[in-house]
Amino acid sequence: MLTLKASYTVTPLEPSPTGLVYLSDFDQSVALTHAPTVYFYRPISDHLLNPIEILKNSLGKVLTIFYPLAGRLQRTRRGRLEVNCNSMGALFLEIESEAKISDFGDFTPTSETRALIPSVDYNKPIDELPLLLVQVTKFSCGGISLGLGMSHVLVDGRCAAHFVSEWARIACGEEPENLPFLDRMVLKLEEDDLKPPRFDHMEFGKLPMLIGQTNNFEEQKKETTVVMLKLSKEHIQQLKKEANEFPSVYTSSKPFTRCASKARLHEFEQLTSMGVAVDFHSQMVPPLPKHFFGNAVSQMRATTTSGELLSKPLGYGCSKIREAIEKVTDEYVRSSLAYLKKEKDLSKFRYSHVLGSTQGAFLGNPNIVITSWIGLPLCGVDFGWGKEIYMGPGTIAFDGKSFIFPSRDEEGSFDAPFRLQVEHMDAFKNCLA
């Protein structure tokens, strides 16, 4: 039982720049919804601390620095998106819950976890929707959660981590450490750069569908469920050995693809792809500013047949992922921008963070998508009452979607919540066992 105690609109504490902010075509082609994450904190021992006031006041300060997050999206005459920096502010909810943190078990993203993050009505005009959603939930045990929804149009994982870390510093009374680089024009092609794309960009093409199907409408309707996979340090080391020392971010995800194909009972000739986000900050020439505030990832895809995936060694699958990742160079990124620039409708490339949504692209069966948070400073966030006991995604929105991030259980281990159709989940878990 959740009870709304108060709702606030938090605006920048000081006057911020106004006007319109350009959004690159990488910003334009991601989910229009909010990426949901949640942090859980133990009961606060210092009764003089008021987490609501600390978070609310420090949010006003950090929004002065990250002021586009206090604005609203609007459409241009071409139908593209831009940010109106009008300081309309972030939504901030104060909630009380009868639950205890222990009720959330291993923190598998469920509907109960999703309820710890504000939801919005995406049927409303886009210029009415806050770009930042915040919910502080007080549990009966004395602990709290901080649920965040951040507009994916404005931020990728690196940006989200940067924003939260600066917010925590300010909440602790410290000065900001790294100011965001807010000029997204560095990813705008000049007119003389608008040459035809030099690559095929299969990542923007149609995804594989099940053999014999002409659409995936029926697959979208199927009931799904989530399992929290625990990958121990020893498990990771064994996978690296089998895969000839490919980095764990790839080896730890590869068994998911193999097990998903096996559990889904794919035919030998069934094409299957794995989507992986590739950060291209350092691939650009010159490199993007370290604290560039905007989407700077290419959504690449490794594709093969389920038969090859299951019959060949683990290293084969890892090599397919490595091939996709190594495509991402400065030239490839600029070619991607040229490809997206010529597309009139970018909605076909978008998916939704809203569970059960049928809007946009369906990335599930026979495919999977792995998002790695390994290397991102998303964990260890202290607002003045200690670091979180857990941080993770608030929901896993669609079939075949998974995240991988460091576990707090053991150094070198990972947590990986994974959503799959109910009819395939038991076979999937048996395959991983």
Q: Name the active-site residue from 34, 152, 162, 235.
A: 152
Give the residue among 310, 223, 214 at the shortest CA–CA distance from 268. Answer: 310
Backbone angles phi, psi at 243, to 5 degrees: -95, 20
Q: Report d(CA 399, CA 231) in Å as an integer.
A: 20
**Cβ–Cβ < 8 Å for 115, 395:** no
Q: Of 183, 281, 330, 382, which one is the catalytic site residue?
A: 382
- Determine whether 382 is an active site residue: yes
| Tokens, residue 138 | 């007080």
Q: Which residue has the tokens 């009961």?
A: 43
> How far, rounded to the nearest angstrom, does the alpha carbon of residue 1 sit from its chain's CA centroid?
27
Beta strand ranges found along 157-293 (DSSP E): 224-231, 271-279
* DSSP line for 56-115: HHHHHHHHHHSGGGGSEEEE-TTS-EEEEE----EEEEEEEES--GGGGTT----HHHHT
303: amino acid identity, one letter = T
Q: Distance between CA 98 and CA 1 in Å, rounded?
A: 6
Residues sharing a CB contact under 8 Å with residue 69, sequence separation 6 or more, in sequence order: 63, 90, 131, 132, 150, 151, 154, 155, 163
Among 84, 53, 56, smallest CA distance to 69 is for 84
Q: How far apart are CA 307 and CA 267, in angstroms?
A: 7
Whether the CB-CB separation of 273 and 367 falls below 8 Å is answered with: yes
Give start and end residues of each alpha helix (H) in 290-373: 306-311, 314-326, 330-342
Can you say how many angstroms the Cα of residue 278 is from the centroid of all Cα atoms in its chain?
13
Burial of 173 (0-12, 13-18, 19+ CB in 10 A): exposed
Length of the chain: 433
| Whether 152 is catalytic | yes
Q: Look up residue 315 and give its two tokens.
A: 């290293």
Give residue for tokens 């150094």.
Answer: 411
> Cβ–Cβ contacts within 10 Å for residue 311, how many?
10
Tokens of 116: 């710890």
Q: Which residues are catalytic?
A: 152, 382
